Amino acid sequence: MSKLCLVGIGPGSKEYLTFEAVTVVENSEILVGSKRALKLFSDVDSEKIELGAHNMGEVLSLAVSKACEGKSVSILSTGDPGFSGVLKPIKKLAGNLKFDVIPGISSVQICASKLQIPWDEANILTMHGKGISDSLITLLSNGKPTIILPNKTIEETVNYLFNHGIDPDRKVAVCENISYEDEKIIKTSLKKLLNEEFGYMCVLVVY
């Protein structure tokens, strides 16, 4: 096992942690992750470094440096490290340092299972913190359900779709706070989404 591990921790509840993820984390000297991610491992006796949008580059660089010094470091990535996770930035930062990737269960997978969508037959698009993707409108015209991790809010995405001529009566679903006690799934039309309030942790499906 490499000194640096990118560990997928699933959508946020312990029920979706894999045995491998738990084993790797429990054997790490340093854990790096969001406040929500670190809370999953509050009983693990290791140094914990909080990661946020405001210090992402700095903390990821620190994690790589600690691993280069010989410390065993796990970077906790919500969902899977390879999907809107830490794999992309770490590949740029790691240089010659070898690291391992422990896959996790993505909210996209769970959303697809909740809605009984074969997710290998759907469009899957992440705009998470990246801005609205120019490919979104094109994807919505190919006849497949489109599973979207929105950039910031559901409202932002809905207004974008309206402004680009998408039918307001188009059928949609939103999975919010997947795996948490307050998980919510709404099936409705695009126009009615603006009557609902959603938090940040949502997956949007447009049929």
CA distance 90 to 3: 13
Question: Both 157 and 200 in a single domain?
Answer: yes
CATH for 93: 3.40.1010.10
Residue 189: domain span: 107-206
Of 69, 102, 135, the one marking the end of a domain is 102
Q: State the pLDDT at residue 129.
A: 79
Residue 1 has a pLDDT of 76
- Give the pLDDT confidence score for residue 184 in this predicted structure: 95
Out of 74, 102, 130, a domain closes at: 102
Pairing label, strands 73-77, 30-33: parallel
Residue 130: predicted pLDDT: 84
10-residue stretch averages of pLDDT, the chain, 207 residues long = 94 95 97 96 96 92 97 97 94 95 96 95 91 91 95 93 95 96 95 91 96
pLDDT at residue 168, as a whole number: 95
| CA atoms of 122 and 139, how far apart (whole Å) | 10
Last residue of a domain, one of 102, 135, 159: 102
Residue 23's CB: how many other CB atoms inside 10 A?
A: 13
